Amino acid sequence: MGLLQTKNVTKRFGGLVAVKDVSLNVEEQQIFGLIGPNGAGKTTLLNSISGVYRPEEGKVFFSGQDITPLSADEICHRGIARTFQIVHSFPQMTVLENVMVGAIFGGRKDHENPKTVAKKMLDFVNFPLRHDSLAQDLNTIQLKQLELARALATECDLLLLDEVAAGLTPAELDELSNLIRRIRDSGVTIIMVEHLMKLIMGVCDRIAVLSFGEKIAEGTPQEITENEKVIEAYLGSKAKH
Amino acid sequence: MERKGLVYIRIAEFLKKIGMSPGGALMFVLLAVTPLLLQDEFWTRLLAISLMMGALAMSFDFTAGFININNFGLAAFWGLGGYTSAILAVKLGISPWIGIVVGALAAALLGFLVGILTLRLAGIFASCMTWFVALALMAVTTNWVELTEGSSGLSTPYLIDTVSNLPYFYLILILTIGIYIVLRLVTKSHIGIAFKAIGQDPQAAAASGINITKYKIFNMTLSCALAGLIGGFYAHYVGVLTPNVMHTKNTIEALAICYVGGRGSIWGSIISALILVPAMEFMKGMMELRLVLYGALLILVMLFYPAGLSGLCETFYKFISNKGLFGKMGLLKNVRGQGSSQSSK
Amino acid sequence: MLEVNNLETGYSYLQVLWNVSLKVEQSEVVALIGPNGAGKTTILRSIMGIVKPWKGSVKFLGQDITGRQTHELAKMGLAFVTEDRNLFSGMTVMENLLMGGFTIRSKEKFNKTLDYVLSLFPRLEERKKQYAATMSGGERQMLAIARALMLSPKLLILDEPSMGLSPQNVDIVFDAILKLKSENVTVMLVEQNVNRTLEIADRAYVLENGSIAMEGKGEDMLNDEHIKNMYLGVA
Amino acid sequence: MDPSQLLDVIFTGVLRGGLYALMAVGLSLVFGVMNIPNFAHGEFYMFGAYLAFFSYTVFHLGPIASIIVAVAGAFILGVIVEKGLFYTLRKRSKKQWIMNTFLLTLGISIIMQNGAKMAWGATYRGITAFWSGSLKIGSMNIANDRVVGFLIAVLAIVIFWLFLNKTRIGRAIRAVSLDETGSQLVGINLDWIHTLTFGLSCALAGLAGASLLSITPASPVMGIGPLYKSWFVCILVGMGNVGASIWGGFIVGLLETFSYMQFGAGWQDAISLTIIILILVFKPSGLFAKKGVKSVLE
Amino acid sequence: MKMMRNVIRNRGVTLILSVVLIASLLMMGGCGDKGKEADDNVIKIGVIGPFTGPAARVGEEFKGATQMAFEQVGYKVGDYKIELKWIDSESDAEKAARAYEQAIVKDKIDCGFLDWHSWVSVSCMEVAAKYKIPHFFAIGGTEIVNEKYESDPDKYFYWVGKGWPVPEKLSIAYVETLEEAIDKGAWKPRNKKVAIYGVDNDWGRGFATALGDQFEDAGWQVADKEWVALGETEFYPMLKKLKSLDVSVIAGTMSDPPSVSSFIKQSREIGINSLIITDGLGWVGEWYELTGDASNFVIDQIPQWTTPEAKKFSEDFKAKYGFEPGASSGGLCYDLARYMIKVLQTCNEKYDAIDREKLVKIAKEEVMTGKLTFDDGVITKKYQYTPETFPDLVVDKDHYIFPVIQYFDGKAKIIWPEEWKEQDLQIPDSMK
């Protein structure tokens, strides 16, 4: 039994079924990729895991415990941290304060000084600017680093990454894959939603593919690239006529 | 020379511990001696009222500037504190000193309830909820004549049996400093960070493990309790209480002071109260024109400097530090900032 | 017809586009493909004046339209179907179409355009009275295209028309584009569905990391290994 | 409450609701289209009343002409305010837009109230009646002015409703409230629509003030009551929902008359507010909040 | 170094600002006091009124009437020049007390004069007592002021007399008028049922409650009591209820013109078949423009511009300020201002000097005892206090009384008391 399991999770918005009957099993220390075309329900699934939404059906288990009914902050306390597709930061706080929020409130008690933790995490993600810059002055890439540092500062066991790579240059992508591996090596399990195949194929141990809210494939990167269904979902079927 | 510097730093450290800067402390000391120097009852009274409005604006800022809810019913909590204390004193003969504390507790209780009511709301909707509660409270106060004497007003006993304004001035000065220290300590602590996080991005706050419910309600409760405390002071200082104290225009006054002072700074509210309240007093001869100017000031602040006085000071400080001693740091930051966006190519 | 020269732009600090130049000729279907985050949508948004260009220029029908306001461009005959559709969800299908014809003053011309658009999408005729918010994804996409066509555009720009659609609906959308092509409407198309897109496109540009990486005829690109690799990330 | 009394209550509630609806529609429109929580709405009501008074008594225009002058004047003032202030702010920064504009409208309200006092003094400027005489309805004699005032309100709402739904410009206003980008893409000039919308909203407030001149004489602070009531309505039905604010007007009108009859005049605010608060507790986005129109959580 | 920087950074600017602030405060304070006491021969009178805020209309009348009174003596009493200081109460107890204190401390007023709201009176009484400043003839009339005075007469006698008695002293006139008419057979009511209404504020509640009690004492049955919100303009439900109760008299008070005029107009629309007493209909000059002929037969109690002096005052006022004064605000204020002048003159004659202490003495020895009265009022015959009535004026037919009047076509006809009577109580045809 893995660290995180979703069992038949279904989430609807009005008439639209965003996630349909999805079951996943993520093992400890895995980097688990979640891919699929735009609008396939990847982010909704992440939100259902992290407590932003409550799924209508199905359950989410973390370390064997049912976390489905918990609120976002409680889930964070259990050890699941996340980043957002559209970066969420606290614009009028300094970089350090932003990360400290994660360290103070997300972490389990009796840890070291939040400031130290925050600084450590900022260094860990190689944050390039002064720590007393305001978050509103950062560019998107720096914000993503900031958000990642904040998530890590919660001392999580599971990290949910939602499109961290969007807009990065190839050099930066390499750096990011290294970073993701380093995070994994520090003992954190990762689930990442990503469009950039290069990155996903490079770092993931296992990948699940969503299309129209349903899981259409799961396997190693190799298996996924060879899967006909996946190719069709991505490049589109050739015209039948 | 060395030692002198050391003493200064020690004092500064101590002040910092209680949430005050040397500048702020000096300001309070100056304020404390001003009435002694002036020996003028009117000035003492004016300063006392300015401090009171400043304290009220601070408790407004505590919600508006941090969890980003404009408590549009603040005057009602202020009035509730006053009325509770006054009614206890008039009907049951309880000492106003105790009454003020009870009044603060009553306001805190209502603040707690309003905190729960506004939990699912944000922005203007939360403001309207607090406003509606306040209007309802004002209507009850007006109509529950057996208890409150309705709009005829309630004659309240004085807190201190004296004809001088000086004791009241020092009382409100101590209250204001106390409130300032409490609010500064809270906002400088982890709790303050949680407030800011909730105000700036509730979703990220929740994802970082902040219990939004708990902090939002705590914020409302504390802010309302402080407003109630000041209300108690008001009731036993002025000597008569009518439901008009709960009128929205009083909230607007606190709100204007807070916004002109700059949201989220706490200290901006005191400074702007110390400027605005006396200024309004001296412009009294201008009749309506004074209020027109007041409105124009609000508009100008909102149009051209939404950050208010405190924002102005920050910019001023940054300007000085960029030009002067710390210029290099500032420059460095800019260069680095540009550098990294270049590198994304 | 449309000419983009050395365009550079981005959001606040983040530069997204680097020296992008492209051209669309009369009656052409031009596709713009590339992985997510490559800047395709940003190109379209800066053509439409939603994002202000930092450098470079955009010309439409020989006029410099760099930095013009969006609604003026719409009046000039540029129709843009966004990724989010931007439909008026609280209005009925008919009202959405009426809004599409906002710039048409003559009743006669309006009716003609409306008949034409409804003949393209007979499904919309049936759902005239339905609210846009209650429609399915495919129908919404159809409506978005139909609304854009109500402008009688000289150039129709489509951003990911097949996104989030079921295969049947994808067919409907592509059929519609084919039909437009056969009627000599100029189309600029951004799509994820690379195969289908390249099949119908006269020419295509491949965008990678904010600059144009390849340019060529649609069918030539169809079997290009590089594109496949780019999408599936097989190095 | 016996049936005839009930009928009276309903009747009065409806008469009163007409005014609330007229005010609330404008308030709601401005919030829906421009995201401005307008706290100066009552001052345009006041402005309309003054204009109607001066046209009627000083320039001896007929009732209808006076009301038209008031509506036009309020519209023009609205346009000036929008172009001068909100437009400027919009071009400068849209950060914290709702709260900043809210403060801006507070400033406008203070200026207009006191400006009116400076210009016209604190005296009440009213008239006995536009149309003297009364109309017998059932057991009641209702003054023509009230009937006409109510009819004007209903007519204005109907015309406005038709305008929003059946005309090109009206639809454009709705379109902007639904999707700004989408509206630009079909060729709608946002700046123009914003100015028009604000002007129209002010014109509606001015109409309300002018047509009720014989009931509420013009005075600088007369706008506060109707402003509060229209806010109750808008929050009750869901901010920005123009259609529902019409029903909301009547709901609040009836609610007030009922609590007035049952508990006495002083309690009407307390009772109706308590009910509104309770409704909001269970339906935070308002009674008729439409999904996807404007959300409570910004 | 770093710490030092932090320390400075920590709102270093606060320091600069606060120093500037305090310095400027000191300067302003210093300037304010200069040259204030130079001229001994100036008497400064602080006039409290709601000059801005919701009751600004009253404030304007106060200002105009007081100025007119003092102009007549050329702002001079004996060798003394008189200076008026306007103290804006803004209808707010705290702001008024602050402004009053400012006037006492900064402007060094020698005495105070007037005031409109009772709650303002209460908070200013305290200030007057504190500085031992005599304050003459405040119009804030309700019980709360009397209560405050009675709680410590030695302390609060500086609040020298109210210009308006507690409501019940006036309201009794209505009952007497009706009873007289019934006794004389001018009116045969179909029943002795009365409905009471009042605006929901200190004045309305006090007045209407007293009136109800007085009707009951005279053997009437009070069928209903209604409180009306300030500014209410919708009376159909209430009036329908009153109509169904079939009362022969509807009596009460409202103070704001929109409410009053709506109430009267709507009562005609509903077809109320009762005599209507509306205390306060004529309070503002333009009542007839608002109400029209719906006001026929309505009974009110208000001083009239009956005497030539009164008419002259009203006309002069209108010519000067552009609007018609209300008799009970502008007119009463005019009388009280002249009473005030008389107090000053008496003081000057008696002590050959006017200052604060001497005015207190005059107040105590002459005004409170009833020796110093004012007899040429345009509003009422004689203003006089006695130790028994203090802080109220003596209210009776020979002193301070408002005539009861009935309106016809915008004209008021006095129907009570007997001496001033212009005609008898008229009963509408439908009630005969």
Domain limits, chain E? 41-166+307-367, 168-302+403-431
Tell me the backbone φ, ψ of residue A22, rounded to 5 degrees.
Answer: -95, 125
A101-144: pLDDT as tens digits = 988 888 766 667 888 888 999 999 888 888 888 888 777 778 88
Which chains have 3 or more CB–CB distances shorter than 8 Å to chain C? A, B, D
Report the candidate in A71, A67, A55 with the shortest Cα–Cα distance to residue A22.
Answer: A55
What is the fold, at CATH topology level, of the domain defined by E41-166+307-367? Rossmann fold (3.40.50)
How close, in Å, is residue B122 to chain E by CA atoms?
31
Please check whether residue D84 touches E, CB under 8 A.
no
Pick the residue with more confidence: E33 or D31?
A: D31
Separation between Cα atoms, residue E38 and residue E40, nearest integer Å: 6
Task: Enumerate residues 6+ apart whose C-beta is below 8 A from E131.
Answer: B163, E101, E104, E105
Question: Closest Cα to residue A57, out of A16, A6, A15, A14?
Answer: A6
> Which position has the token pair 């304004």?
B165
Mutating which of C168, C172, C193 best tests the A interface, going by the most A Cβ atoms within 10 A? Answer: C193
Tell me which chain D residue has its CA closest to the CA of residue C81. D185
What confidence tens digit (pLDDT) does each residue in C109-163 have? 999 999 988 888 888 888 888 888 888 777 888 899 999 999 888 899 999 887 7
Give the whole-angstrom CA distance, residue D256 versus residue D264: 10
Q: What is the residue type of A186? A: S
Domain topology for E168-302+403-431: Rossmann fold (3.40.50)
The pLDDT value recorded for residue B81 is 96
| Interface contact flag, C13 B337, Cβ < 8 Å | yes
Instruction: Judge E/B contact: 3 or more CB pairs < 8 A.
Output: yes
Give the gap in angstroms from C-alpha A28 to the nearest C-alpha of chain C.
Answer: 25
Q: Determine, for residues B22 and E205 on separate chains, whether the beta-carbon distance falls below 8 Å.
A: no
pLDDT of amino acid E26: 53
- Domain boundaries, position B233: 40-248
User: Does E231 contact D at CB distance below 8 Å?
Assistant: yes
Q: Is E259 on the interface with D (CB under 8 A)?
A: no
Separation in Å, CA of C231 to nearest CA in chain A: 6
Contact D293, D178 (CB under 8 A): yes
Q: Are β-strands A57-62 and A65-66 bridged in parallel, bridged antiparallel, or unpaired?
A: antiparallel
- Alpha-carbon torsion (B209, B214, B217, B223), positive or negative: negative
D138 touches chain E (CB under 8 A): no
Query: Does residue B319 fall inside a structural domain?
Result: no
Are C36 and A139 within 8 A, CB to CB?
no
Residue C4, token pair as written in the block: 């983009």
Q: In whole angstroms, what is the distance from residue E111 CA to residue E337 CA?
A: 13
The arithmetic mean of pLDDT across residues E30-57, rounded, is: 73
**pLDDT in the model for residue C197:** 86
Among B242, C202, B155, smallest CA distance to C221 is for C202
pLDDT value at A217 more than 50: yes
Q: What is the mean pLDDT of residues C204-231?
A: 80
Where residue C12 falls among pLDDT bands split at 50, 70, 90? Answer: low
Q: How confident is the model at residue E16 (pLDDT cuts 50, 70, 90)?
A: low
The tally of CA atoms less than 13 A away on the side-chain side of residue D229 is 29
| pLDDT value of residue B220 | 95
User: What pLDDT, on a 0 to 100 scale, did the predictor assign at position D293?
Assistant: 42
Mean pLDDT of A200-220: 88
Name A211's bridge partners. Answer: A214
Which among A156, A74, A66 has a CA at the least distance from the CA of A107?
A156
Residue of B23, B149, B287 lying closest to E52 (CB–CB)? B287
Q: pLDDT tens, position by position, for chain B (345 residues)?
A: 556 667 878 887 887 777 777 778 888 888 898 888 888 888 888 899 999 999 999 999 999 989 989 999 999 999 999 999 999 999 999 999 999 999 999 999 999 999 998 888 877 888 999 999 999 999 999 888 889 888 778 888 888 887 788 999 999 999 999 999 999 999 888 899 999 999 988 888 998 889 999 999 999 999 999 999 999 999 999 888 888 899 998 999 999 999 999 888 888 999 999 999 998 888 877 778 888 998 998 888 888 888 888 888 878 877 776 654 444 444 334 333 333 333 332
Q: Where is average pLDDT lowest: A151-155, B274-278, C162-166?
A: C162-166
Chains in touch with D (3+ beta-carbon pairs under 8 Å) read B, C, E
- Rounded to the nearest 5 percent, the helix, strand and coil shares of chain C are 40, 25, 35
Tell me, what amino acid is at E102?
Q
For the cut 70, the answer to whether the pLDDT of residue E1 exceeds it is no
Percentage of chain E with pLDDT > 90? Answer: 36
E14 vs B82, higher pLDDT: B82
Q: Which of E260, E258, B138 is nearest to D222 (CA)?
A: E258
> Residue B282, Cβ neighbours under 10 Å: how many?
13
Buried b (16+ CB within 10 A) or exposed e, A148-172: bbbbbbbbbbbbbbbbbbbbbeeee
Residues β-bridged to residue A207: A33, A219
Mean pLDDT for chain E overall: 85
pLDDT of B330 reads 40
Cis peptide bond upstream of E417, omega within 30: yes
Domain span at residue A95 reads 87-156
A238 CB neighbours in chain C (<8 A) are 195-196, 199
Residues of B in contact with D231 (CB under 8 A): 128
Q: Given 3-state DSSP classes, what are the helix, strand and coil percentages for chain B, each rounded to the nearest 5? A: 80, 0, 15
Chains D and C touch (3+ CB pairs under 8 A): yes
State how many domains chain B has: 1
**Cβ-based contacts of B343 with chain C (< 8 Å):** none
What is the token pair recorded at E227?
């409180």
Asked whether the beta carbons of E345 and E76 are under 8 A apart, the reply is no
| B207·A100 Cβ contact <8 A | no
E142-175 confidence digits (pLDDT tens): 888 898 899 889 989 999 889 888 888 889 999 9
b/e map of B55-80 (b: 16 or more CB within 10 Å)? bbbbbbbbbbbbbbbbbbbbbbbbbb
Summarize pLDDT for E107-135 with one digit per residue, the tens.
889 999 999 888 899 889 988 988 899 99
E168-302+403-431 has the same fold as E41-166+307-367 = yes
CA angle E312, E316, E320 (to 5 degrees): 175
Extract the tokens encoding A14: 């009005």
Query: Is the pLDDT higher at D134 or at E60?
Result: E60
**What are the b/e assignments for E338-352, b being 16+ CB within 10 Å?**
bbbbbbbbbbbeeee
Higher pLDDT, C208 or C192: C208
Residues of B in contact with C210 (CB under 8 A): 345
Q: Is A220 helix (H, G, I), strand (E, B) or coil?
A: coil
Task: Determine contact: E205 vs chain B, CB below 8 A.
Answer: yes
The complex's ipTM works out to: 0.86
pTM: 0.87
Residue A70 belongs to some domain of the structure: no
Residue B215 C-alpha from the chain's centroid: 18
Size of interface D-E (CB pairs under 8 A): 107
Q: How many CB atoms lie within 10 A of CB B326?
A: 15
- Within an 8 Å CB–CB cutoff, is residue A126 touching chain B? no
* Domain-embedded: residue B147: yes
d(CA B50, CA E24): 15
Mutation target among B191, B208, B328 for the A interface, most CBs of A within 10 A = B208
The domains of chain C, with CATH numbers, are 2-231 (3.40.50.300)
**Residue A169 domain-assigned?**
no
- Partners of A168 on chain C (C-beta within 8 Å) are 37
* pLDDT at A241 (0 to 100): 42
In a domain, B261, yes or no: no
- Neighbour count for residue E21 (Cβ, 10 Å): 18
Task: For chain B, positions 300-339, list CB contacts with chain C under 8 A.
Answer: 337
Among A135, D298, A70, E52, smallest CA distance to B68 is for D298
Interface test with C, best of A173, A196, A214 (most C CBs within 10 A): A196
3-state secondary structure of A35: strand
Cα B30 to Cα B173: distance, rounded to the nearest angstrom = 11
Task: Please state which CATH number belongs to domain D3-296.
Answer: 1.10.3470
Domain tally for chain A? 1
Q: Which residues of chain D have pLDDT under 50?
A: 291-298
pLDDT score, position D77: 97
Interface of B with A (CB under 8 A): 190, 193-194, 196-197, 200-201, 203-212, 264, 329, 332-333, 336-337, 340-341, 343-345
